[in-house]
């Protein structure tokens, strides 16, 4: 007992001596695995802030939902349980439709269009997050979303009754429109849900298919390119305001660099993920004309629904985007 106490005491002294008088450590919860490109990018961002402040503000990432599960990250930061973190923002569209702006099917399906749409939405997004005690730092797109299944899917009729994993309101709504049974499941739990048969289909990127080794349980990936959802990194507003100016500037500069770098990485890696799915035995294909048309019709329904729910602010974003 005594020995443990003295070890602890000396560890405490060492860590005090090695850090500056008012140094701060920020734990940063992430929902996705350490090897996912978002998590790797967040680790570079964390190091950037730590280096730029000479360790005055040290950010330490905690991937894979280890500190907070994906669904709890946003609330944890709003309430100050964690000072900073990353979250798939569209998973919170039930709080405010604006959070689902990046998941309107077939509105923005390429990286370029996705960036245009996001640019049109950023000011409003920053404001809405600010009202929730959050400071918007940066956002990185996932590669375009495709359809995973364990059989050939030629039309929406083939999806009828399939057990489907949803990750936000848009994926749940597609399931509903296609007559599937949606279950909300975090990416960290996806492999298990697939191997136990809880779900047999989902819509996501090649990146998440690779992370969850989709080929172990599924056979087909249809590259439908429905939308490019984003992970947003934000910080607790009180925690940001308590920083000295130098640290705050470092945080903002590193954030802007991380946004650029992360989006470039997403684009660069997209084709490789689909290749990995293929190399592991999955059929990677374009959707049939019929499936494409049916999904497009769901998209039209959902675009109308979104614009109705998001009010003037939403309509302005879509108009600005379309005018670009």
User: Which spans of this chain sit near ligand PCA (rule: CB under 6 A)?
Assistant: 88, 142, 167, 187, 204-205, 207-208, 229
In the complex, the smallest distance separating the C-beta of residue 140 from ligand PCA, rounded to whole angstroms, is 11
Q: Are 224 and 292 in contact (CB under 8 A)?
A: yes
Nearer to ligand PCA, 56 or 86 (CB): 86
Cβ-based nearer residue to ligand PCA, 50 or 212:
212
**Cβ atoms within 10 Å, residue 100:** 26
Nearer Cβ to ligand PCA (173/237): 173
Structure-block tokens of residue 107:
């509105």
Instruction: Please state whether 26 falls in left (phi above 0), alpha (psi between -120 and 50) or beta.
Output: beta
Closest-approach residue to ligand PCA (CB): 205
Structure tokens at 214: 């989709």
Kindly tell me which of 201 and 207 has the beta carbon lying closer to ligand PCA: 207
Which among 318, 93, 128 is positioned nearest to 234, based on CA atoms?
A: 128
Q: CB 173: neighbour CB atoms within 10 A?
A: 21
Quote the least distance from Cβ 127 to ligand PCA, whole Å.
Answer: 24
Q: Closest distance between ligand PCA and the C-beta of residue 271, in Å?
A: 15
Q: Which two tokens stand for residue 88?
A: 């798939």
Shortest CB 142 distance to ligand PCA, Å: 3
Asked if 233 contacts 84 with a C-beta cutoff of 8 angstroms, the reply is yes
Q: Which is nearer to ligand PCA, 198 or 252 (CB)?
A: 198
Using a 10 angstrom Cβ sphere, with 0-12 exposed, 13-18 middle and 19 or more buried, the burial of residue 13 is exposed
Q: How far is the CB of 70 from ligand PCA (least distance, A)?
A: 7
Which tokens belong to 243? 């920083």
Q: Considering the complex, what minimum distance in angstroms separates the CB of residue 170 from ligand PCA?
A: 11
Which residue number, 88 or 98, has a Cβ lying nearer to ligand PCA? Answer: 88
Query: Which residue bears the tokens 């996501």?
Result: 204
């Amino acid at each position: 007992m005594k020995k443990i106490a003295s070890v602890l005491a000396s560890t405490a002294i060492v860590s005090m001596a090695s850090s500056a008088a008012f140094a701060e450590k920020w734990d940063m919860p992430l929902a996705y695995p350490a090897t996912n490109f978002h998590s790797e990018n967040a680790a570079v961002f964390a190091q950037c802030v730590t280096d730029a402040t000479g360790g005055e503000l040290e950010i330490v990432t905690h991937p894979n939902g280890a500190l907070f599960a994906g669904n709890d990250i946003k609330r944890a930061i709003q309430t100050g349980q964690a000072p900073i973190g990353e979250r798939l923002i569209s998973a919170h569209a039930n709080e405010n439709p604006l959070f689902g702006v990046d998941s309107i099917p077939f509105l923005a399906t390429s990286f370029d269009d996705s960036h245009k749409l996001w640019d049109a939405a950023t000011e409003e997004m920053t404001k809405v997050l600010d009202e929730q005690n959050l400071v918007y730092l940066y956002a990185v797109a996932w590669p375009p979303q495709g359809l995973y299944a364990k059989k050939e899917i030629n039309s929406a009729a083939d999806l009828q009754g399939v057990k489907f994993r949803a990750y936000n309101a848009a994926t749940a709504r597609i399931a509903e429109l296609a007559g599937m049974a949606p279950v909300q499941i975090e990416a960290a739990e996806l492999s298990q849900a697939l191997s136990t048969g809880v779900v047999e289909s989902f819509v996501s990127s090649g990146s998440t298919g690779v992370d969850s080794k989709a080929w172990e349980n599924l056979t087909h990936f249809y590259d439908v390119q429905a939308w490019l959802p984003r992970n947003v990194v934000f910080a607790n507003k009180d925690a940001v305001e308590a920083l000295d100016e130098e640290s705050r500037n470092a945080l903002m500069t590193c954030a802007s660099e991380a946004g650029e770098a992360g989006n470039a990485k997403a684009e660069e890696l997209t084709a490789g993920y689909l290749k990995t799915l293929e190399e592991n035995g999955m059929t990677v294909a374009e959707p049939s004309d019929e499936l494409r048309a049916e999904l497009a019709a769901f998209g039209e329904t959902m675009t109308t629904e979104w614009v109705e729910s998001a009010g003037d602010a939403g309509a302005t974003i879509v108009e600005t985007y379309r005018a670009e």
